[in-house]
Structure 1
Amino acid sequence: MRAVLVLYFKYFLLWDDDLATSIYHTFVALCYLTPILGAIVADSWLGKFKTIIYLSIVYAIGQVAMAVSAIHDITDTDRDGKPDNMTFHVALSMVGLLLIALGTGGIKPCVAAFGGDQFSDSQDKQRRTFFSVFYLCINGGSLLSTIITPIIRAQECGIHSKQSCYSLAFGVPAALMVVALLVFIVGSGMYYKAEPQGNIMLDVCKCIWFAIRNRYRHRSKQYPKRTHWMDWAEEKYDKLLIAQIKMVLKVLFLYIPLPMFWTLFDQKGSRWTLQATTMDGDFGALVIQPDQMQTVNPILILTLVPIMDSLVYPLIKKCGLNFTPLKRMTVGMFMASIAFVCAALVQIEIDKTLPVFPSAAQSQLKLLNMGNNPITVQLPGNETTELPGTMASLDYFTFESEEIMVSIGTPAVTKLVSLAMGKRQTLLIPSDLVEEWLMTDDLTSKPDEGKNAVRFVNGMNMMVNVTTPSVNFGLTEPFYYSNYSLIKSGTHTFTLWSDTQSCSFSMAFGFGSSYTFFIGNNLFSDCLKSITVVQDIKPNTASMALQIPQYFFITLGEVMFSVTGLEFSYSQAPSNMKAVLQAGWLFTVAVGNFIVLIVAELAKLPKQWTEYVLFASLLVAVCFIFSGMAYFYTYIDPTEIEAQFKKKDDEDDDDDDQKSKPQKAEMEMVKRGSVDSDD
């Protein structure tokens, strides 16, 4: 669903880029904050099995709400040109997203932990295999969704007009969620269902608070020093609970640097996709759209997980190296930083191919001769330009003033032309220079989603309609121009017609270009020669294949960091706090999403590649910190520690029983009268 969510915000709800991005990252952060609630409910009240069922229902309802919110025809507008009833649809979308965040967050810590519960303490190898298969399944679904959901969205549907079918893109996941829930319920009889241990989270919070308060209360008095600050809770709480809390806090302390990894990782769905919109997706036999480049990640996951588990890790072990889980996670973080260095290098190559757009203090102007005869043009600060008939200047002229004097023809006709600062414009020069000179607003950025922007300038004295199988450009008035329309890459056939006359021509498009087609006077007598193609923005030339190395390194980092982290969190968690520790792991993802917004907002770097280098540098610094923390970490066996405390408690109970035996015997003798009660 996330694959099309930003597009839904931008093109259906008509939000701007900043608002769409902010709401998107806020939603993702909520999805990884709510696991704390799910863990509390699972460990303290319902148990993992029931929590998964109930919150999956909430999840499905949220998806249905999103699907219903997208059933709307945005061509029905009010006086201000805004869609009618949009407030209702925005509100329903937000409710749907909140339900989805609650549902997905609630089941996230439970599913992995519930799977781990199915294995006994002696099945470490099988449990490790499960977590790998579990991650493979997640990424198998990710691969399918990244391919299929954009295809579903691209289908045309609508009440009165054809538009992207977001309702179907949200509705299909809703239906599949219901199917998945039914399959899970059918297997109920095969599962081991651990009973909830009571409100363990509340007990943990009370115990920690008592330890802190007790230590603070006795800070200035002569009391025996405690080995650990949690030992100050021994006066009130069970030693087993204190030991379990120590285990959890020890792991949570290690989690502090981890959000920085997710800060980089989650940008592959935003920054890297935007980067792909400025690249060429033509791979020869295969043409990739910018948002489909994300499929490289799950494909590599499905490939690398079995290779790492069955080949790389065993080979490292045979070499005598102790490649512990924390060492794997450290290397994974370093791989992610390398990925962003690769992204920076790719961005530098892209920047070489991008046009130079005007700054806020500049304006750019292109000339288009609509007449059949050549003309001479004199612009301030430039040499006299010879412009052939029905032709445009090759490049834009740059000015740093709001008004310029333009002289055209012989004898010269001079006019004062007003320019828009920070914009590109095209001056349409009519054949009769005395007539009005039109000025068009051109694009000052690459077209969205790697598409191509196309418009028509009508140089005929009659209305011309332009259509393609996918786009209707509508009627263009005589000696006027149409708005830009976006078309995908590939070959498109344009049909131009007026009354009973028509002609067609075809043209192949790449990615991210902008064209102005000038329609000459002899259109219906010589179609091809009467169409002048003016290239305003060149198509992307940097191949999307350049992104493959960065996807490889980020995926390699994910395999070593995320898969290992899930297993590590489960193995180091006490038996009654596994879902809570899983929630703590997922919480690091939420923090990572907030860091993206904070760093990007504070840095405000002028070049995108410098931002990539900044994130890579931050992760390398965090990597060194984490490696130092991992060096001093001691691996534990929670089951063994819990067993020791339980055994000690049993022995203490036996000692108490032994001590109480003489007292019991004496009481018995008193009852029988053999011993004086006063004695």
Structure 2
Amino acid sequence: MAWMEWSSLGTPLLIFGNEEMMPSMASQEVQCSMTQQEEVKNGKPNHLQETTGTFEIRIPDTDQKTRLCIDMTTSSKGGWRTMPFIFANEICEKLGAIGSGANMIMYLTQVLHMDYVQAANMLTNFGGTSSLTPLLGAFLADAYVGRFWTIAVASVIFFLGTVLLTLSATIPSLEPTPCSKLCPSPSQKELAVVIVGILLTAIGSGGIRPCVAAFGADQLLDASDSSTKNREGKTEQHDLKHPMALSTWSFFNCYFFVTGVSSLLAVTVVVYIQDNVGWGFGFGIPAALMFLSVVSFLLGMPLYFKEVPMGSPFTRLAHVLMAAFKKRRLLTTDYVGPLYELSDKESLACQQTRLMHTEQFSFLDRAAVRTPKDKTENGSLNPWQLCTVTEVEEMKILIRMAPIWASGIILITASVQQHTFSVLQARTLDRHIVSGSSFQIPPASMTVFSNITMLVIVSLYDRVLMPFAARVTGHARGMTCLQRMGVGFVVSMATTGVAAIVEVKRKKVARAAGVLDMGSLPMSVYYLVPQYCLNGMAEAFMQVGHLEFFYEQAPESMRSTAMALFWTSISAGNYLSSFLVSLIHRYTAWLPPNLNRGHLEYFYSTLTFLQVANFLIYCVSARWYKYKKFAAQETQKVEQES
């Protein structure tokens, strides 16, 4: 193993075993890394160099070591040419995941004969679990194995889950006995195979979801790059609050467009096969697509830029909290001088972008105050006693992001109803495409209108909406992430409001036709289209803005974790939905097995009220939020002012 230290004169020494290389030779190695950093400043991403050597850096006055990948060749890595492999993986994964899950409530209720409320809660609980497991996947990606291998292994696990679901629908001994009226509950064996299959897909999603978006964005941009070229080829500076290149913002729109197309195919083609051909084929196709997903992703291996894991981000956060707690009694008059931070040379060697100090949450600044007790017995700095300003600011960033994260929970709670109760509503309506047609729209395929709306808005955002909004707001991207999310909140409130009105209309038709206890109503399923379209519009603004926000504002070493935070808000929204449904079902008669005899409109109205309160809290949080600042940005700002 080789490592690098600085001598007392500040000269870098590259050491192999007990032999020291000549300072001049070591300087050449460090100069290679510095040259890459200069290329970043000049607009060339540093991952366009192929890494051929890995060294350890020992930070002066500490016992910490950081790996450094020194680029020795000029073979390019990353770029848009990697997107076909990444997007092919994402398309197959989404077809597998959504194709298996979109119509699952029909499989549980019609094939396994489960109760509606039990099936709805089971699916939202598993939806919550599949959005909670990304925390584990993100931790492994950021700390140990990197995003590439996390995605690869998780895809295999997901594939095994879809295989189990296929077996449950094709092996006779795992299928329940057909019945007409009074149907027995599924046996433990039948239910176990389905639950394990869904659980494996949830675990697989935990590795895929937090890493794919960040891995794709990594191929296009180094976060320290502060300039890009516009369509005319002229170099333009980014907003100091938003240092990411416009190509990365385009990537997020492309990412959601790809997922939208995948969802569209899943809720139309795959769901149609499940309803009209059979569940064996309906689950088998997603399994085959997941196999193709793994193959596609691995084919692009030679082209990917693979970021080196930087250690557990949670350990660094624990360092800050512990150091600040130990120095909680320290007064500002007890210390003089600047807060502790790595020098330019040390920060460069660690490939870490320094963050500027902010005044918010000043009680955490004590963690960066030097005291005589900061060193261990061997003279090195104790990370549990002293932290850098950048580490302290990373902790502050997460605290500032918490209210924005929490605000997305209620929106998800409202959105998931389009996959549960809205599907059950559609099942009671006339689903013929046109009057007299023999073809009926599968209930779960109604989400196609949500997907189409999202695709249209996402595809038009860069070319139409963003230029128009930029002329109005003066912002380079038209709207900030927080403003884009705010639009999504407003549209989501309209979604549940419209859903409540349509439900009142649906029950009025049922009473007028005297079919309260019968299957189909003389009312077109197209009455549900407005609420589905509004839901797609809300997702196009809120979900894309939320994802952009987490990637942009999160510390560089925690981007997978930040993507996991995005998915954990979805998890919390699913769990909150289960809690609300169970609570309402227990204490009211709003949600009986026969929706015609219930008050689903009251449930939708409750969600609307909760969203209004949530939006008001979000407005306060967004107003209070402070964007992170890089040290390089402050230098750029001073140069611009001068």
| TM-score, normalised with respect to structure 1 | 0.63
Aligned equivalent of 1:280:
430
Q: 1:54 aligns with which of 143, 153, 163?
A: 153
Contact 1:58 1:102 in 2 (8 A): yes
Deviation by residue 1:281-306 (Cα, 9 ceiling, x = unmatched): 23426742322211111111221112
Q: Which amino acid aligns with 2:461?
A: M
Residues 1:116 and 2:188 are matched in the alignment: no
Change (3 A) 1:629 1:281: same
Structure 1 residues 546 and 246, CA gap change in structure 2 (3 angstroms) = same
Pick one of 277, 280, 283 that aligns with 1:167: 280
Given candidates 390, 395, 398, the residue that maps to 1:240 is 390
> What is residue 228 of structure 1 aligned with on the other side?
362
Q: Quote the residue 2:517 is aligned against.
A: 445
Aligned length: 457
CA positional deviation for 1:355 = 3.5
Q: Bigger shift: 300-309 or 135-144? A: 300-309
Say if 2:555 is the partner of 1:563: no
Q: Does 1:148 align with 2:269?
A: yes
Identity of aligned residues (%): 27
Provide the residue aligned with 1:86 in structure 2: 187
Alpha-carbon distance in structure 1 between the residues aligned to 2:299 and 2:533: 38
In 1, are the aligned partners of 2:499 and 2:604 still within 8 Å (CA)?
Answer: yes
CA contact (8 A) 1:575 1:639 kept: no
1:612 equivalent among 604, 622, 640: 604
- 5 Å-filtered alignment, 1:523-672, equals 540-603=521-584, 604=588, 605=590, 607-638=599-630, 640=632
2:441 matched to 1:319?
A: no
The one-letter amino acid paired with 2:113 is L
Match for 2:604: what amino acid?
Y
SS of residue paired to 1:542: coil
Separation in structure 1 between the aligned mates of residue 431 and residue 196 of structure 2, nearest angstrom: 36
> Which structure has the highest helix share of the two?
2
Letter in 2 for 1:624: L
Distance 2:280 2:442 in 1: 21
Larger displacement relative to structure 2 (597-606 or 174-183): 597-606
Separation in structure 1 between the aligned mates of residue 459 and residue 631 of structure 2, nearest angstrom: 29
Contact 1:569 1:582 in 2 (8 A): yes
Do the aligned partners of 1:574 and 1:638 also contact (CA within 8 Å) in 2?
no
Unaligned 5+ segments in structure 2 are: 1-99, 229-244, 336-358, 369-384, 591-597, 637-642
C-alpha offsets along residues 97-154 of structure 1, whole Å, 9 cap, x if unaligned? 2211111111111000001111223451111111111101111110001012222223
- The equivalent of 2:317 in structure 1 is 204
Partner of 1:342: 498
Give, in angstroms, the shift of residue 242 of structure 1.
1.6
Alignment of 1:68-107 (within 5 A): 68-73=167-172, 74=175, 86-107=187-208
Q: In the alignment, is the contact (CA less than 8 A) between 1:571 and 1:637 conserved in 2? A: no
SS across alignment from 2:523: coil
Alpha-carbon shift at residue 556 of structure 1 (Å): 1.3
Q: Within 5 A, what are the aligned runs for 1:352-371?
A: 352-355=508-511
> Which residue of 1 is the match for residue 462 of structure 2?
309
Question: Where does residue 121 of structure 2 map in the other structure?
Answer: 22
How much has 1:642 moved relative to structure 2?
11
Distance 1:248 1:226, change over 3 A: closer
User: Measured at CA, do residues 310 and 66 of structure 1 come closer, stay the same or move farther in structure 2, by a change above 3 Å?
Assistant: same
RMSD: 2.9
Query: How far apart, in 2, do the equivalents of 1:227 and 1:259 lie?
Result: 25
Q: Residues of 2 paired with 1:244 and 1:47: CA distance?
A: 20
Q: How does 1:374-523 map to 2 (within 5 A)?
A: 445-447=517-519, 512=520
Secondary structure of the equivalent of 1:93? helix
Give the SS at the match of 1:193.
Answer: coil
Q: Aligned match of 1:130 in 251, 255, 273?
A: 251
Task: From the CA coordinates, give the structure whose radius of gyration is larger.
Answer: 1
**2:309 counterpart letter in structure 1:** P
| Cα deviation digits, residues 554-592 of structure 1 (max 9, x gap) | 211111111111112111112111111111111111111
> Kindly tell me: are residues 35 and 641 of structure 1, through their superposed partners in 2, closer, same or farther at Cα, counting changes over 3 Å?
farther
Aligned to 1:5: 104
Offset at 1:20? 1.2
1:260 counterpart (394, 410, 418):
410
Q: Residue by residue, what CA displacement relative to the aligned partner does 1:30-78 show, whole Å, maximum 9, x if unpaired?
A: 0100000000000000000011001111111111122112234346599
Q: Name the structure 2 match of 1:471.
A: none
Is contact 2:146–2:307 with CA below 8 Å preserved after alignment?
Answer: yes
Hey, what's the Cα distance between the residues in 1 that align with 2:170 and 2:537? 40
* Runs of 4+ that moved beyond 4 A: 74-78, 81-85, 219-227, 641-644
Structure 1 599/643 Cα, relative in aligned 2: closer, same or farther at 3 Å? farther
Cα deviation digits, residues 341-379 of structure 1 (max 9, x gap) = 1111111111111149xxxxxxxxxxxxxxxxxxxxxxx
**Counterparts of 2:631 and 2:428 in 1: how far apart (Å)?**
53
Structure-2 change in CA distance of 1:15 and 1:287 (3 Å): closer
Q: Distance in 2 between matches of 1:127 and 1:257?
A: 24
Q: How far, CA to CA, are the matches of 1:92 and 1:119 in structure 2?
A: 41
Task: Report the Cα distance in structure 2 between the residues aligned to 1:236 and 1:553, rounded to whole angstroms.
Answer: 50
The alignment partner of 1:256 has SS state of helix
Look up the equivalent residue of 2:620 and give its one-letter code: G
The TM-score, its normalising length taken from structure 2, stands at 0.66
Moved more, 225-234 or 600-609: 225-234
- What per-residue deviation string (whole Å, max 9, x for no partner) do you get for residues 521-566 of structure 1? xxxxxxxxxxxxxxxxxxx122222222222222111111111111
Q: Does 1:176 align with 2:289?
A: yes
User: Aligned equivalents of 2:463 and 2:444: distance in 1?
Assistant: 32
Work out the CA distance in 1 between the residues paired with 2:183 and 2:601. 37
Q: Summarize the Cα distance change of 1:35–1:226 in structure 2 as closer, same or farther, 3 Å threshold.
A: closer
Task: Work out the CA distance in 2 between the residues paired with 1:330 and 1:111.
Answer: 25
How far the C-alpha of 1:176 sits from its partner, in A, is 0.5
Q: Is the 8 A contact 1:70 1:89 kept in 2?
A: no
Distance (Å, rounded) in 2 between the aligned partners of 1:236 and 1:314: 47
Give the C-alpha shift of residue 245 in structure 1. 2.3
Contact 1:62/1:95 (8 A) holds in 2: yes
Say which SS state the counterpart of residue 557 (structure 2) adopts.
coil
Alpha-carbon distance in 1 for matches of 2:166, 2:506: 37
Call closer, same or farther: CA 1:226–1:635 in 2, change over 3 Å. Answer: closer
**How many angstroms apart in 2 are the aligned matches of 1:71 and 1:289?**
21
Describe the superposition over 1:249-276 as per-residue Cα deviations: whole angstroms up to 9, x where unpaired: 3223321222011011111111211122
Deviation of residue 7 (structure 1)?
Answer: 1.9
- C-alpha change, 1:41 and 1:639, in structure 2 (3 Å) is farther
Give, in whole Å, the separation in 1 of the partners of 2:178 and 2:491.
50
Distance in 2 separating the partners of 1:219 and 1:602:
48
Counterpart position of 1:388: none
Paired residues of 2:446 and 2:532 also in contact (CA < 8 A): no
The residue number in structure 2 matching 1:44 is 143
Per-residue CA deviations over 1:603-633 (Å, capped at 9, x if unaligned) read 4345211211111111011111101111122
Q: What is the one-letter code of the residue matched to 1:70? A: A
What SS does the corresponding residue of 1:547 show, helix, strand or coil?
helix
- Give the match's secondary structure for 2:170: coil
